[in-house]
């Protein structure tokens, strides 16, 4: 079927009355190629990679359309299988597409501003699957491909090609993947603690479906399978309406319905919460259920009042008697429900960037009404409550508080210690204008600092028109999402996954060397970590991540 489809594309482009001409050469995955030039790509030309069995590796072929502006080029592509004798990596294991531009701006830090306050630039980021693709005359595009090496494939050098077709003419561009005799576990078994907060409400808006309908879950599935394929560990759940007020274009609703009955007692409907958690577990994400938030940004809580048949709000703060009473009843009911579902041990009451006093007051309520329920927090370091936080994620500017002794103590207790970046940090980050290598560096930084992983607040909190404009009104462009509508990937996402894989490979090699008593290899691996220098990231991130990966593959 695929062969017949590609031949039909050849016939289609053959009859188009174009005077276009295309050229192509291998580029590299560190470059977001400019869109308005048909000149040959400068910089490194990379058409080979080394991979473990089970690893994903990336390439980028740079395609230029030399036709006139009025003509353009209609380009079709096909990925061949990769062969090593009789052993193959099927073409179905190779995905990708032309990298299309989105509007971006520049680093501005945090704070409200007009969407266009910091300019408008185009940047290559969105890896589409449109095939064939129309390119304007005089333009250039990167054609991204990601090769998923099977876990059971035979080691050796695999050769394949990308075939391009334009105006009935085809060209083939060869590349190789050298598979070494090492195996990367399936993503569900990766140690890296990845926590990207999901926004199902944004998916409902973009796909124009009723929240929590069958259609909603159907369109959600590809996004969450993509997230699971990166080793995601946590399910983002909301216990209240608008836990972060209205900071995103699509505000988060509550997955729990709070009902004050006519007699003044309370009841709680967990139906949506249950459906969401069960769905996410079906997608392969099941280690944690992080529930937001007992301390929202706006201390006002919505509930349904049966006596008046209307929604009302109660305003109260941690430390207030009304707050303890309001949350106490819910926590008691929630704990009983979680135990009945078998989820109590993996559920967390989660807060972010809250003060010490607020946290202490909330923790007191949790301990009184839901003893044993775990707590997670993303924010600054508060030594006074560290022992109470099972999953503690520190801002990149605060993670120096993780001393080797503290990390060892937390790890021995089975606790999770990670870091996060947001609008406050220019490097490393995941903005649309960020250098692709920075995304890979993020995972290496967790490795170098002996942390368990990384948290990012926004997997898919899209802007009004995310496929065209990644700018938002409060943060640098791209801060709110790393994947695009219709589960379209990005350069940032693919490079982040590549970094996570290096984290896993390092951990495997180090554990093996320690188990065998190979002190020379242990020493070499620890020396390699010293290359991961965050002080050099603004200028040397490409050199750092590529050098680290190459050295690791030789071990």
- pLDDT at position 12: 35
Whether 378 and 234 have beta carbons less than 8 Å apart is answered as no
Residues of the chain scoring pLDDT < 70: 1-20, 37-42, 67-70
Token duo for residue 107: 């680093």
Alpha-carbon gap, residue 395 to 384, rounded angstroms: 17
Alpha-carbon gap, residue 408 to 420, rounded angstroms: 20
Residues 6+ apart with CB under 8 A from 3: none
- pLDDT at position 71: 73
- pLDDT at position 68: 60
Domains in the chain: ranges and CATH: 2-180 (2.60.40.10), 190-496 (3.20.20)
- pLDDT at position 20: 55
- Cα–Cα separations (whole angstroms), residue 382 to 206, 263, 401: 39, 41, 9
- pLDDT at position 297: 87
Whether 480 and 458 have beta carbons less than 8 Å apart is answered as yes
Q: Give kind and range of the element (H or E) at residue 5.
A: helix 2-14
- pLDDT at position 35: 82
Q: How many CA atoms lie within 13 A of 305 on its CB side?
A: 9
- pLDDT at position 143: 98
* DSSP, residue by residue, 93-116: GEEEEEEEEEEE-----SS---TT
- pLDDT at position 19: 40
- pLDDT at position 10: 38
Alpha-carbon gap, residue 217 to 461, rounded angstroms: 17
Given the DSSP bridges, would you call strands 453-456 and 193-196 parallel, antiparallel or unpaired? parallel
Token duo for residue 382: 């508060």
Whether 177 and 49 have beta carbons less than 8 Å apart is answered as yes
* DSSP, residue by residue, 301-355: EEEEETTTTEEEEEE--TTSHHHHHHHHHHHHHHHHHHHHHT-GGGEEEEEES--
- pLDDT at position 1: 41
- pLDDT at position 443: 98
Report phi then psi at 190, rounded to 5.
Answer: -70, 145
- pLDDT at position 41: 56
């Amino acid at each position: 079927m695929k062969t017949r489809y590609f031949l039909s594309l050849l016939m289609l482009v053959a009859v188009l009355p174009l005077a276009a001409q295309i050229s192509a050469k291998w580029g590299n995955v560190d470059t977001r190629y400019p869109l308005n030039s048909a000149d040959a790509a400068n910089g490194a030309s990379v058409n080979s990679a080394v991979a473990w069995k089970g690893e994903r590796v990336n390439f980028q072929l740079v395609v230029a359309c030399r036709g006139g502006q009025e003509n353009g080029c209609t380009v079709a592509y096909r990925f061949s299988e990769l062969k090593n004798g009789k052993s193959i990596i099927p073409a179905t294991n190779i995905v990708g597409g032309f990298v299309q531009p989105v509007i971006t701006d520049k680093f501005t830090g945090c704070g409200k501003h007009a969407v266009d306050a910091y300019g408008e630039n185009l940047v290559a980021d969105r890896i589409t699957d449109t095939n064939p693709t129309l390119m304007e005359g005089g333009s250039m595009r990167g054609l991204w491909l990601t090769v998923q090496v099977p876990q059971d494939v035979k080691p050796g050098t695999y050769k394949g090609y990308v075939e391009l077709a334009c105006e009935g003419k085809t060209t083939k561009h060869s590349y190789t993947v050298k598979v070494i005799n090492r195996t990367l576990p399936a993503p569900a078994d990766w140690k890296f603690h990845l926590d990207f907060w999901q926004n199902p409400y944004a998916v409902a808006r973009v796909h124009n479906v009723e929240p929590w309908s069958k259609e909603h879950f159907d369109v959600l599935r590809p996004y969450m399978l993509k997230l699971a394929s990166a080793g995601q560990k946590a399910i983002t759940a909301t216990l209240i309406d608008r836990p972060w007020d209205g900071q995103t274009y699509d505000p988060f609703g509550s997955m729990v319905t709070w009902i004050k009955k006519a007699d003044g007692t309370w009841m709680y409907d967990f139906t949506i919460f249950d459906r969401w958690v069960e769905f996410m577990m079906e997608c392969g994400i099941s280690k944690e259920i992080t529930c937001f938030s007992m301390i929202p940004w706006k201390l006002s809580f919505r509930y349904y009042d049966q006596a008046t048949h209307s929604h009302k709000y109660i305003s109260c703060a941690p430390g207030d008697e009304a707050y303890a009473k309001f949350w106490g009843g819910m926590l008691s009911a929630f704990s009983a429900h979680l135990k009945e579902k078998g989820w109590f041990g993996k559920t967390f009451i989660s807060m972010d960037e809250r003060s010490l006093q607020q946290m202490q007051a909330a923790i007191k309520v949790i301990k009184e009404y839901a003893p044993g329920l775990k707590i997670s927090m993303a924010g600054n370091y508060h030594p006074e409550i560290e022992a109470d936080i099972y999953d503690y994620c520190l801002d990149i500017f605060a993670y120096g508080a993780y001393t080797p002794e503290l990390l060892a103590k937390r790890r021995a207790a089975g606790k999770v210690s990670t870091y996060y970046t947001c609008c406050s940090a220019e490097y490393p980050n995941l903005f649309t204008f960020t250098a692709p290598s920075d995304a890979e560096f993020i995972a290496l930084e967790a490795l170098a600092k002996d942390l368990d992983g990384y948290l990012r607040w926004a997997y898919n909190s899209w802007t009004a028109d995310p496929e065209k404009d990644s700018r938002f009104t409060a943060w640098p462009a791209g801060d709110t999402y790393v994947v695009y509508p219709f589960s379209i990937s990005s350069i940032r996402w693919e490079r982040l996954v590549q970094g996570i894989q290096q984290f896993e490979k390092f951990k495997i090699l180090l554990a093996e060397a320690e188990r065998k008593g190979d002190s020379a290899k242990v020493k070499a691996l620890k020396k390699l970590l010293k290359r991961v220098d965050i002080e050099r990231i603004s200028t040397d991130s490409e050199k750092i991540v590529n050098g680290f990966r190459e050295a690791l593959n030789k071990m």
